Structure 1
Amino acid sequence: MERARLGSWAEVGSRVATARERGGFTQRELGDRLGLHRSAITRIELGQRHLDALELAQLADALGRSVEWFLTEPPAVIASHRDGLSADRNVQRLEDELERTCRDVELLNDVNVLSVPSAALHPGVTSRDEAEARALEARSLLGRGDGPLLDLQAAVEPLGLLAFSLDLGPSVIDGGYVRLGDIGVALVNGTADPGRRRFNLAHELGHHLLADEYTADFGLGTTRADREALINVFAIHFLMPRSSFHTRWTELSGQWPDPRHRLVVLAAEFRVSWSATISHALTLELISRSDFELLKVRRPTSGDYLEVGARFDEELQPVALAPAYSQAAVRAYRRGVITADRTIELLRRTVAAEDLPRPHEMPIEALASEFEDII
């Protein structure tokens, strides 16, 4: 998974400018930190002033980046937006977090402690019907039937996707996706409500399996909105297959004549947001457009869930790290490949040093062999 090296000082300078701007520094402020004149920072960012190893290390330290960050190309991030709004600053934060996560994943892969299956569907879809069919194919690969998919973070790993949930702050950014060879890395915004987080992860799975950004003839057109709409269709049918949704709707009709009560149960059982549940019911023609408009403003409360005897268990609460990734980080530490401090960083400080298991001790035979080699 070696990242492509930058080929010119102008490209390095561009990375410096990006890091400075995202860090909230002016050229003068960064120069003051490094003991350089503002004009020197300008020339660095234009690629007109070369950096030696010591200066690059000092620059990386001042901007909170690794030296490697300035010398390699960033991953191609696919950012998912809510309501199509633009938010450059929020996208930058997402890109920073995804790039850091990708580098950590690459580290664990390069030291041979990370094992993630690879899976793919036929890339691209051209219609809503095809998007629904691809969702059912994905479920078939998992062998999980058509019922609710619980613990979605673990469920997507057999499909080659490592899922992370981090607190990105209240923003219009739902999440993002990066492809690293056969492995996909998805990051969802943990500040969203629980059902929305699951939908966002299913959406990123669609990017991963359908490879929409890498397929010229993906679907309805060439616009991002067209692709996102089809990915949304994939996501909703992956989480709530038509057949099981219909079946539960019919089963619940005897106990709960009021459609709203049934929808509250379905939202809890499938662990999806209220808006996704009622939108799906409308698409499947289980409710009318007028019913939908009324239900939009009658969002369920905790009391509504208690009334129908349903419990909405939360998933993807931040910080939530991909299970295979967390296992790999501890495995690398146990083998002595990385230090305790690096392991804690990889695990986003969800553990302390005393929580880590003891590193593997070298067998006496191996110690004796090493001693013989020395003498």
Structure 2
Amino acid sequence: MAIDSASLGLRVAQARQRAGLTQEDLARSSELERSAIAKIETGARRITALELARVAEAVGERIEWFVQESPPAIVSHRNMSDPGEPSPRIDTAIDRFVRAVKFTAQHDGNLRSTLRSIPVFDEPTSATQTEALAQQARELIGVGPEVPLHNLSAKMVGVGVLTFVLDLGPEAADAGSVLLEDGAVAVVNGALRTGRRRLALAHEFGHILIADEYTIDWRLDSTQNSRERIIDRFARALLLPRKSLDTQWRRLGGTERSKTREAAVRTASHFRVDMSTLARRLLDLSLIDDETAARVRTFKTERADIVAHDLVVADELPAGELSREYQAAVLRLFTSETINTDRALDLLMDTWEPSDLPELAPRDESEIWQFTS
């Protein structure tokens, strides 16, 4: 769709502010005069395609962000934020993933059917309600109430949630999610360790189930507000179900000080969580006291532990992982020649090389004439 100079100028101003740049900074980076930037932002001067490309590079945005409407949930979130603050990297990443998913689903019926309507649950207001929501969530994704929840992203696809993992760096947010018209997109920071990545995704699942349209979670185990504390507990309960954890902890002798470390190492491996999450969950269930929790947080799984206890080392949700259903949809568009190589690689978020794409079957002469006649 066409966009007028005033709207385009406003987007330039928003992108500059989120990038933490002054008009002088942007002018220098884009090889424009500061007065030109000022006029562009007010809509008094048109911006050429080449100038827009330089501006986009300077502020770390994609050109499509300036000329196409963003998903409503993202627009709402950004309008609520302080316009003088730099934009989190995850904001930009989520915007790109949502656009890519919507485009791909528009052209691929299988992906459209995957993005089904997600049931909405009442927001819990107590520990009891939070534990109940975690059990309902397990039922929703087809996992028994007591078994370890592995391969969470694959199971969430069954209810319409697509997960993407991108290394955003240690200073960026842990995760974020967006509800679409049907389905949802969750983005996890691949810079986190495996256990924290799983906790981050579980946390986003909680937001999705209570229909938070758009969320950015900067750090897990938040104490900022009651909602975040509730979602934190939901995530722990989802990954560490009460009865199973209680049984495992007592069977391994976790209640005995001399056996606490071994019990923690084996339990964390069994449920694929980090020590901080395990300690907090054990406190939730009154299985340990504060002193023991502090000790558990200091434990590290060593190489000797892996050998001695025959532990499974799983790198779940590695950086660069894209939803398998989404990747398959992109490949279908490529092999049907709905999109070209560059567009396919773009939709695959530059996690694929051109050589990774399948070779297209050559067309015979009759097919060529269909395209030229």
The TM-score, its normalising length taken from structure 2, stands at 0.82
Give the C-alpha shift of residue 259 in structure 1: 2.6
Query: Which residue matches 1:297?
Result: 298
**Identity in percent:** 35
Partner SS state of residue 182, structure 1: coil
In the alignment, the residues of structure 2 paired with residue 103 and residue 32 of structure 1 have an alpha-carbon distance, to the nearest angstrom, of 30
Q: Which amino acid aligns with 1:234?
A: F
In the alignment, the residues of structure 2 paired with residue 299 and residue 271 of structure 1 have an alpha-carbon distance, to the nearest angstrom, of 13
Q: Deviations over 1:25-78 (max 9, x none)?
A: 65346446766432121122133x1426xx146413541445431134444459
Q: Which amino acid aligns with 1:43?
A: K
Query: Which residue matches 2:352?
Result: 351
Give the conservation status (yes or no) of the 8 Å contact 2:6–2:41.
yes
Q: Which amino acid aligns with 1:135?
A: A
Give the conservation status (yes or no) of the 8 Å contact 2:179–2:211.
no
Give the C-alpha shift of residue 105 in structure 1: 0.9
Give the conservation status (yes or no) of the 8 Å contact 2:100–2:347.
yes
1:190 aligns with 2:190: yes
In the alignment, the residues of structure 1 paired with residue 192 and residue 149 of structure 2 have an alpha-carbon distance, to the nearest angstrom, of 19
In the alignment, the residues of structure 2 paired with residue 6 and residue 22 of structure 1 have an alpha-carbon distance, to the nearest angstrom, of 24
Query: Which residue matches 2:175?
Result: 175
Partner SS state of residue 174, structure 2: strand
Give the conservation status (yes or no) of the 8 Å contact 2:16–2:22.
yes
Give the C-alpha shift of residue 166 in structure 1: 0.8
Q: Deviations over 1:197-255 (max 9, x none)?
A: 000011111111111458xxxxxxxx96221111111111111111221232243349x
1:27 aligns with 2:20: no
1:331 aligns with 2:332: yes
| CA distance 1:287–1:363, change in 2 (3 Å) | farther
Query: Which residue matches 2:165?
Result: 165
Query: Which residue matches 2:14?
Result: 18
Structure 2: which 5+ runs fail to align? 76-83, 215-222
Partner SS state of residue 281, structure 1: helix
Q: Which has the higher contact order (CA 8 A, sep 6+)?
A: 1
Query: Which residue matches 1:51?
Result: 46
Q: Which amino acid aligns with 1:359?
A: L
Q: Deviations over 1:114-173 (max 9, x none)?
A: 242422232422222212211111111222213112122212111211111111111152
Give the C-alpha shift of residue 270 in structure 1: 0.8
Note the 1:211-230 alignment, pairs <5 A: 211-212=211-212, 225-230=225-230
Q: Deviations over 1:56-109 (max 9, x none)?
A: 46413541445431134444459xxxxxxxx954x5211111111111111101
Give the conservation status (yes or no) of the 8 Å contact 1:177–1:204.
yes
Give the conservation status (yes or no) of the 8 Å contact 2:179–2:212.
no
Query: Which residue matches 1:131?
Result: 130
Query: Which residue matches 2:313?
Result: 312
In the alignment, the residues of structure 2 paired with residue 294 and residue 31 of structure 1 have an alpha-carbon distance, to the nearest angstrom, of 53
Count matched residues: 348
Query: Which residue matches 1:102?
Result: 98
Query: Which residue matches 1:273?
Result: 274
Q: Which amino acid aligns with 1:129?
A: T
Q: Which amino acid aligns with 1:51?
A: R
Q: Which amino acid aligns with 1:93?
A: R
Partner SS state of residue 177, structure 1: strand
The TM-score, its normalising length taken from structure 1, stands at 0.81
Q: Which amino acid aligns with 2:98?
A: C
Q: Deviations over 1:304-342 (max 9, x none)?
A: 343333233111111111111111111110111111111
What is the root-mean-square deviation in Å for CA atoms of aligned residues?
Answer: 3.2
In the alignment, the residues of structure 2 paired with residue 66 and residue 314 of structure 1 have an alpha-carbon distance, to the nearest angstrom, of 31
In the alignment, the residues of structure 2 paired with residue 33 and residue 213 of structure 1 have an alpha-carbon distance, to the nearest angstrom, of 35
In the alignment, the residues of structure 2 paired with residue 368 and residue 191 of structure 1 have an alpha-carbon distance, to the nearest angstrom, of 47
In the alignment, the residues of structure 1 paired with residue 128 and residue 361 of structure 2 have an alpha-carbon distance, to the nearest angstrom, of 52
| CA distance 1:57–1:184, change in 2 (3 Å) | farther
